[in-house]
Structure 1
Amino acid sequence: MDVILAETAGFCMGVDLALRRLDKLVKAADGRPIFILGPIIHNPQVLKRYAEKGVTIAEEPDEVPGGAYVVIRAHGITREVEAQLKARDVVIKDATCPRVKKAQLLIARHTAKGRELLLYGEADHPEVKGLVSYAEHGHFLFGAPEELDDYPLSPDKSYVLAAQTTQDRELFQAMAKKLQENDSVNVKVLQTICDATKLRQKEASELAEGVDYMVVVGGFNSGNTRRLAQVASDKGTPSQHVETVADLDLENLRQYGRIGVTAGASTPRILIDEVLEALEAL
């Protein structure tokens, strides 16, 4: 059996930066409590490790006691929540991914000119909630091209089209092109999808074409990991999305000659290595 690992599998720059900032804070806290406003990344194994170090997840600003450190997660937060934090007696450490922060500021700048935001993303994702909070003149959130097709765009209004940073770039570009070719729609397209996302999806697609089976490692609640699994299955290659090696049916995999492995941007290397070791042992 050949086991092939995608070159970019695992942590992206934003996740790595957020965790390094949190690690530094844990070492320097000197007894001061540390809270994260929501999970710092979407990986339960990573969150468990920080919980064992005394890091607490808070869902709302008022759950953070006075004098504590509060870390803003990699996905970012809404403008309203940020204002609530700044009004409290807490020490804020911002670990928002630079790509997400850039998307927030782009949306704020371009919607300030009177444009309505059209955002391609997952409604319940924390990054998306943060992004739409920067829209100055309303927003329409959609998760599929047909939803945008059905939305009544007015020739008397102007729009900004943007996307959650981990969405499928090819699909987004197709939607952007369709809007820009409509002479009755005044739309400004923002390129907010992260290059790391594009590269991971491209590699997953190419790898899936050359193997008999694909394994995608990462949190089940990780949007970018789920999309990698979808990219692989869209190629018609049998595949499985697992959080850890324990989720693999190793006996079933013995029948395949070439297995490809990739991982989401929030998946730690140790979990990837455990999957690789188990597959190579077959």
Structure 2
Amino acid sequence: MEVILAETAGFCMGVDLALTKLDSLVARANGRPIYILGPIIHNPQVLKKYAELGVIIAEKPEEVPDGTYLVIRAHGITRQVEAELAERDIIIKDATCPRVKKAQLLIARHTRKGEELLLYGEADHPEVKGLVSYAEDGHFLFESAEELASYPLVKDKSYVLAAQTTQDRALFDAMTQELAGDPTLDIVVLNTICDATKLRQREAKSLSSEVDFMVVVGGFNSGNTRRLAQVAMDNGTPCKHVETVADLDLDELTFYERVGVTAGASTPRHLIDEVLSALEKM
């Protein structure tokens, strides 16, 4: 069996920065409790590691006691929660991905005159909740081209179209082209999809066309990882999304000659290496 690893598999810049900040804080906290408002990234194995180091995940701001450190997760938080925390006796360490922060500020800038935000993203995703909080005057959140097409756009109103940073670039571009075909609509399109996301998806599409089977490694709750698996399947290649090598049924892969491996932006290298090692031993 030939095993081919995608060049960009694993941590992106934003995840790497967030974990570097958290590691630095853990090393010098001197006993002061460290809280994170929600998981710092979407990877269960990483979260387990930090839990063992004493890092506490709080689901709500009120669960964070005064006098503690609070790390803002890589996905960011809402503008309202950030303002609330700034009034507290808490030492805040912002680990928001720079790409997410840029998207937040772009949305705020382009909706300040009352433009309505049209956001392509997952309703329950923490990044999306943060992004829509920066829209000054209302928003419409959609998860598919069909939902956007069914939304009644008013011709004398201004809109801003943006996307969650980890969304599928090809689908977003198709929706953009569809709206651009109507000259009566006043729409500004923001480029908020991360370059790392675009590159990973492009590589997943290319690699899946060269192999007989694809393995995508990363958290089951990671949106960008799930989309890599979807890209491979949409390309007509059988694909398995696993969190760890334990989720991989090696017997299932016996008859495949070439297997491609990629991983989400929040997947640690050691998990990728374990999958590679198991495949290469076959």
TM > 0.5 between the two? yes
Matched letter for residue 281 of structure 1: K
Matched letter for residue 113 of structure 1: K
Residues 244-264 of structure 1: per-residue CA shift (max 9 Å, x gap): 000000112111100000000
The answer for unaligned runs of 5 or more in structure 1 is none
Give the Cα separation in 2 of the matches to 1:195 and 1:79.
24
Match of 1:202 in 2: 202
Deviation at 1:20, TM superposition (A): 0.2
Match of 2:261 in 1: 261
Residues 88-146 of structure 1: per-residue CA shift (max 9 Å, x gap): 11000000000000000000000002210000000000000000000001000000001
Deviation at 1:156, TM superposition (A): 1.4
Residues 29-56 of structure 1: per-residue CA shift (max 9 Å, x gap): 0000000000000000000000000000
Match of 1:85 in 2: 85
Deviation at 1:177, TM superposition (A): 1.4
Match of 1:175 in 2: 175
Alignment of 1:135-146 (within 5 A): 135-146=135-146
Match of 2:157 in 1: 157
Alignment of 1:35-184 (within 5 A): 35-184=35-184
Give the Cα separation in 2 of the matches to 1:60 and 1:45.
22
Give the Cα separation in 1 of the matches to 2:185 and 2:30.
56
Residues 41-80 of structure 1: per-residue CA shift (max 9 Å, x gap): 0000000000000000001111111110000000000011
Match of 1:275 in 2: 275
Give the Cα separation in 1 of the matches to 2:188 and 2:177.
11
Secondary structure of the residue that 2:274 maps to in structure 1? helix
Deviation at 1:188, TM superposition (A): 0.3
Match of 1:7 in 2: 7
Matched letter for residue 278 of structure 1: A
Secondary structure of the residue that 1:182 maps to in structure 2? coil
Percent identical:
76
Runs of 4+ more than 3 Å apart: none
Secondary structure of the residue that 2:261 maps to in structure 1? strand
Deviation at 1:149, TM superposition (A): 0.4
Give the Cα separation in 2 of the matches to 1:136 and 1:180.
23
Deviation at 1:180, TM superposition (A): 1.6
Output the TM-score relative to the length of structure 1: 0.99
Give the Cα separation in 2 of the matches to 1:254 and 1:181.
49
Residues 203-237 of structure 1: per-residue CA shift (max 9 Å, x gap): 00000001010000000000000000000001111
Matched letter for residue 27 of structure 1: A
Count of aligned positions: 282
C-alpha RMSD over aligned residues: 0.5
Give the Cα separation in 2 of the matches to 1:189 and 1:253.
43
Matched letter for residue 56 of structure 1: I
Output the TM-score relative to the length of structure 2: 0.99
